């Protein structure tokens, strides 16, 4: 097996705007009498809602598996993983540790890292100014109707109000020159997500989001991580559509910045 070489890291950062209410469920240690059962995930230190990196990465992977016809329910294994070095999904998102030994061409190395998304400062101020039943979130009544008895089953659901905005950051590791071609898959996943939903209750209108103000920064190993210089901004103030349309040009700039 040839040695692994890291050429550098591509930083993708920007904002996630909630066009409708967003619900990513959290866990409650104890349920109070009369309390809200369906709570959102919050930072335990600040009590502010956030978007877990696992939720964002997992939904993008799920959508891409379907887009590339890899979402097969084989023996109840819902997450696709394989040993094909040319697999678009596994090359970007990696494979489980137990499959690393059979994977080819370093495909087992996870290229994409997704950070937790925190509220922007402006969104934090707006939510504090709203008269909400609980901090940083609205409480919405949901209902299901028994089709036989017509009996209602109401429940309270927390969600982040529409108009809220979160910061996001992804890191894409480049181990081989060919990895630059697969970066396009990340932007495709972002675009797919915009026309789908993030979090729960998506079929009821929750979770419509939009990526904006995207900046792509090239951090090569020598100049940035060995000499302490700033990375090169390859794209700025973009949306996924822009990055897909301009990908060939962007790829050329990334290659010049990373592959010496």
Residue 1 lies in a domain: no
**What does the DSSP 8-state code read for residue 35?**
-
Residue 21 lies in a domain: yes
pLDDT tens, the chain, 260 aa long: 567 889 999 999 999 999 999 999 854 544 444 445 678 999 999 999 999 999 999 999 999 999 998 877 655 556 787 777 788 898 899 876 655 555 555 556 789 999 999 999 999 999 999 888 888 998 886 666 666 665 656 677 899 999 999 999 999 999 989 999 999 999 999 999 999 999 998 998 999 999 999 999 999 999 999 999 999 999 999 999 999 999 999 999 999 988 76
Residue 153 lies in a domain: yes
Rounded Cα gap, residues 245 and 230, in angstroms = 27
Phi, psi of 84 (to 5 degrees): -80, 120
List of E strands, 46-174:
112-114, 138-145, 152-159, 165-174
Cα dihedral value 198, 199, 201, 205, nearest 10: -30
Structurally, how many domains does the chain consist of?
1
What distance lies between CA 120 and its chain's CA centroid?
16
Cα angle 163, 216, 236; round to 5: 65
Domain that holds residue 128: 8-254
Residue 245 lies in a domain: yes
CA-to-CA dists, residue 13 to 10, 218, 256, angstroms = 10, 12, 20
Residue 55 lies in a domain: yes
pTM: 0.88
Contact 130, 124 (CB under 8 A): no
């Amino acid at each position: 097996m040839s040695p692994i070489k890291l050429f550098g890291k591509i930083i993708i950062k920007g904002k996630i705007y909630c066009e409708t209410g967003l619900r990513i469920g959290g866990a409650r240690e104890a349920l109070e009498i009369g309390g809200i059962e369906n709570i959102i995930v919050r930072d335990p230190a600040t009590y502010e809602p956030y978007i877990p990196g696992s939720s964002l990465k997992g939904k993008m992977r799920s959508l891409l598996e379907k887009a590339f016809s890899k979402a097969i329910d084989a023996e109840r294994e819902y997450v696709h993983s394989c040993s094909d070095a040319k697999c678009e999904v596994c090359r970007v998102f990696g494979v489980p540790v137990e499959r690393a030994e059979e994977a080819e061409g370093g495909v087992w190395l996870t290229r994409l890292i997704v950070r937790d998304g925190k509220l922007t400062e402006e969104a934090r101020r707006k939510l504090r100014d709203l008269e909400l039943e609980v901090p940083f979130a609205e409480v919405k009544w949901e209902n299901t109707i028994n089709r036989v008895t017509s009996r209602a089953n109401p429940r309270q659901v927390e969600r982040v109000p529409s108009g809220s905005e979160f910061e996001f950051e992804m890191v894409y590791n480049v181990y081989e020159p060919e990895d630059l071609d697969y970066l396009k898959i990340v932007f495709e996943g972002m675009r797919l997500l915009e026309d789908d939903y993030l979090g729960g209750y998506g079929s009821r209108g929750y979770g419509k989001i939009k990526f904006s103000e995207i900046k792509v920064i090239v951090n090569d190993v020598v100049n940035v991580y060995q000499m302490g210089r700033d990375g090169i901004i390859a794209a700025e103030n973009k949306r996924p559509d822009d990055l897909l349309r301009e990908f060939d040009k962007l790829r050329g700039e990334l290659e010049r910045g990373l592959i010496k």
